[in-house]
Amino acid sequence: MTAKRFGKTMVWLRRAVQIASVALFCWLFWSARFRDDAGPGPFTNLLFDFDPLILVATWLSAHAVAGGALLALITVAVTLVFGRVFCGWFCPLGAIHHFAGWLDSLSRRKRRKAQPYNRWQHAKYYLLVALLVMALFGVHWIGVFDPISQLYRVTATVLYPGAQYAIEDGSTAIYHADPHVGPVYATTVTEPVYKFSRDYVFVTDRQAFRNSALIALLFMTALLLNLYRRRFWCRYVCPLGGLLGWLSQRQMLRLTQAHGACKECGRCATVCPAGASPEKPGHWRAPECFGCWNCVPSCNFNAIDFKFATPFRRPSEAKLDLGKRATLAAGAGGVAALLMFRLEPQAQGRTYNPGLIRPPGALDEREFLQRCIQCGLCMKVCPTNGLHPTGFDAGIEGIWTPKLVPLIGYCEYNCNLCGQVCPTEALKPMGLKEKQQFKMGMAVFDRTRCLPWAYDRECMVCEEHCPVADKAIFFKPAEITRRDGTKVTLKQPWVDLSKCTGCGICEAKCVFRDLPAIRVTSANETRHPGNQPVLAGFSGESYFVNDTPAQSGSEETTPDPYGTPPESSNNPYG
Amino acid sequence: MTEQTRRDFLKHTAAAGSAVVLAPLAMAQEAAPVSMVICRYPEGGPVEDNAGVDAMAKTMAEKAIEALGGMGRFVKKGDAVWIKPNMAWDRLPEQAANTNPVLMATLVKMCLDAGAKSVKVGDQTCNEAKKSYPRSGIEAAVIAAGGEIVYLDENRFKEYSLGGKKLDKWPLYPEIVESDIVINVPIVKHHSIAKATVCMKNYMGVIGGNRGAWHAEMGTCLADITRFMKPKLCVVDATRILTANGPTGGNLADVKRINALAAGTDIVALDAWAVELLGHKPEDIESVLAGSKEGLGEIDYKKLAPKEIQLS
């Protein structure tokens, strides 16, 4: 078989693998969802586990890795042999960019121009250096750029909700208008589509996310840049591509370029999406090459082909030369960025942001940020749409990390999905009982708005919804004098500080919809003893004989929030 | 529309009244349909005993509907039926925050046997529906019985003109409202403002909008929605009742086995009966009182001469 024919087969095989990898991503993304009580699908972290950048960066910043992440060593091994085939064949984000570039080439009548190697392709290596230096000092910003993380984030917060909105709102509009021609109703098509997508595709109720605009904008920009250079993102920016490129300097599968046979027509350069210089005999750039095989069948003279070589043989003359000075500068840039991130009292742990309510199981803020890769999977699985990406409320360092927004959705008492799907255990995986003990914050009444406090009317919606078995919201009767002088006894609601977990269902259900009259703040959160106004496990005991409080339902038995839950919580009814 | 409804109820009340008058007449007793049935087993038993409670619920539902004249009295051939339980909470059956699942399944089956075209079950939940439906046990039971489970879509509520005393317009769920018959099947629970929640309060699972806003004027609002919904058949689940920390519950200590069930056509009478189980006088419950004053039913349920069925 000639190199050209074999190359053609490989190109089609590569396309099939790319489609399969996107399909796999879609399936994995979909499988991360609530399924009765069975927990999420078993492989939700698979793609993250194969990502060596997440492995390295998490290990640098948190000095710990999730067990499955060792699968990334397979990716490393494959790269050492075959080069950046992860980028060319397996990366679902790469496949999407590849597809975008292909769409563009379809729309242009003229033959594609070559997009040769450019020095700026070094940018991704410098970005990698900067990010790894930051990780070493505990700023885990890898997720902002990592392709897997980015794809999950944009799918979770932009693409999926966008598709859901379009389908559901569109079919609902048709359902209400009910257009028809004679006996042919539009709804006979739209309703089954709507029901199928609702029941089998989206599974959760309609989602929309705060701070998703910037995520969408950056993704769209990256996609559009394919018009300028095919696979712009993968060529210039992707730090995972940089890491794999660095590893593939002496890859075993190498492009052999026959000096004599090559007529220097440059045809291969027009199909190379990576700027790997296949058109320059002896100057093929292994670290840039995606191993996509486009160039091999494009050559009419069978002058180029992939052949195996031992890693000891010197690779081509075009080796990766980043330059000491530039590399050091990149590292220094990382340190500078890190300092900039930390020049913020909150980033130094000196203040607590009341609105920054982290999901259940979140580690101490610093440790949390050292692990969270902003992938948005927790937000995707949250059944109430309660988890949202932060803007800058966790600092620049914590951009797009998850926070609970009770106004939109509360933390469901019998749900611990977010901790189960977190790929880096930034959210500690917890059993349901432990999760129900975990305090995310505390509810506070706004007595200037609350109906029984401010407007002499009865209301109990918050108390009604409080899921804690004996209610963290309780009433005290109070005699009120109304405007007309009549007296009335009202039940005024209070929060039991020792029972409230900050789940936020009270805020989510409060009758005030703009600014609820009961709101959760991060105070009293389990993960920060420094943010607890009182010591955990208040017993009410006192050395003064007469000061023992009347028996109330508010005693708490566990002083250690991470310790064994109190006996009462062993009953399965919470 | 309002007048129509009111007239319906006047007729209805007249029918109930005449039933009372006619009751002593042995001849007429068969002709006048029974308007309320109470089934009882002896009280007590372990709260967690699901199998025991389920068996009781099934038997009592069958006996009660039979005594009312069979499901055919309410469900006609080809009817679209909606059965509205309490399944708003992410709680297990024994926690008594949701209607008994076997009771639901039994009713679904009876409706299908009576020739219903479709029997749908759904509720506007307080916790996440995707969690509440399965955990209540109702989803599996209804599907097994041949019914259809419907997840309400937040975006599909439609504004209806209630023409009520308090509420002029309110968003309701069209699929429920436009059913041929809505069977109201609540569980008896404590409620911290309304004191008790039974049939009338159960209609809150049909409404959308800012539901919380109803709580400040619960009685009038519930009377308005009840008038609009024109109840034809209600079945009250009092196998297990929630006596405190309602309507959410959670603690088994708050659950009590009453082992009873009531069914009938008079929603106010049924609510009046049910609140007594929680230790209240019917007149002390605002919604029951409002229902009675608005002519939606008879607060003194004994006047209806409810048929009592004692089981053992």
ipTM of this predicted structure: 0.72
Sole residue written with tokens 């069978």: A302
Q: What is the pLDDT of residues A219-232, one digit of tens each?
A: 999 999 998 999 99
Q: Does pLDDT of A574 surpass 50?
A: no
Distance from CA of B9 to the nearest CA of A (A): 30
In the prediction, which pLDDT does A263 show? 86
Q: ∠ CA A350-A558-A497 to the nearest 5 degrees?
A: 60
Q: What is the pLDDT of residues A84-118, one digit of tens each?
A: 999 999 999 999 999 998 888 777 665 678 888 98
Set of chain B residues whose Cβ sits within 8 Å of the Cβ of A169: 155
Q: What is the pLDDT of residues B27-57, one digit of tens each?
A: 444 557 888 999 999 988 898 899 999 999 9
Residues 6 or more apart whose CB falls under 8 angstroms from that of B143 comprise B149
Please classify residue A377 by burial: count the beta carbons closer than 10 Å to its beta carbon, then call 0-12 exposed, 13-18 middle and 19+ buried: buried
If you ran DSSP here, which 8-state letter would residue A158 be given? I
Q: Indicate the pLDDT class of residue B195, thresholds 50, 70 and 90.
A: confident
Q: Does pLDDT of A323 surpass 50?
A: yes
Rounded Cα distance, A392 and A401, in Å: 10
Set of chain B residues whose Cβ sits within 8 Å of the Cβ of A513: 210
Cβ atoms B147, B83 nearer than 8 A: yes
In the prediction, which pLDDT does B2 show? 46
Nearest beta carbon to residue A172 from set B127, B129, B156: B156
Q: Indicate the pLDDT class of residue B16, thresholds 50, 70 and 90.
A: low
Q: What is the pLDDT of residues A159-201, one digit of tens each?
A: 999 999 999 999 999 988 888 898 999 989 999 999 899 888 8
Distance from CA of A470 to the nearest CA of B (A): 7
Q: Which among B124, B126, B127, B159 is the top mutation candidate for probing chain A, defined by the most A β-carbons within 10 Å of its own β-carbon?
A: B127
Q: Tell if the CB–CB gap between A509 and B127 is shorter than 8 Å.
A: no
Rounded Cα distance, A176 and A173, in Å: 5
In the prediction, which pLDDT does A561 show? 41
Average pLDDT, chain A: 88
In the prediction, which pLDDT does B17 show? 59
**Which chain A residue is nearest to residue B194, measuring alpha carbons?**
A460
- Interface check A201 vs B, CB under 8 A: no
β-strand A402-404 against A442-445: which pairing, if any?
Answer: unpaired
Instruction: Report the percent of chain A where pLDDT is more than 70.
Output: 91
Nearest beta carbon to residue A206 from set B92, B135, B154: B154
Residues within 8 A of B (CB atoms), A 40-99 only: none
Judged by DSSP in three states, B121 sits in: strand
Q: Indicate the pLDDT class of residue B248, thresholds 50, 70 and 90.
A: confident
Q: Tell if the CB–CB gap between B250 and A460 is shorter than 8 Å.
A: no
Distance from CA of B248 to the nearest CA of A (A): 6
Give me B48's structure tokens.
């967690």
Residues within 8 A of B (CB atoms), A 446-475 only: 451, 457-461, 463-471, 475
**Which one, of A327, A334, A120, A128, lies nearest residue A239 by Cα?**
A128
Q: What is the mean pLDDT of residues A328-357?
A: 93
Rounded Cα distance, A314 and A310, in Å: 9
**Which one, of A186, A159, A158, lies nearest residue A173 by Cα?**
A186
Give me B185's structure tokens.
């099947």
Q: What is the mean pLDDT of residues B257-265?
A: 92
**Mean pLDDT lowest for which of A331-345, B109-123, B246-260?**
B246-260
Nearest beta carbon to residue B128 from set A412, A460, A572: A412
**H or E stretch at B312:** none
Q: What is the pLDDT of residues A426-480, one digit of tens each?
A: 999 998 899 999 999 999 999 999 999 999 988 889 998 999 988 899 999 999 9
Q: Indicate the pLDDT class of residue A540, thresholds 50, 70 and 90.
A: low
Number of Cβ within a 10 Å radius of residue B208: 18
Distance from CA of B19 to the nearest CA of A (A): 39
Q: What is the mean pLDDT of residues A114-130?
A: 93
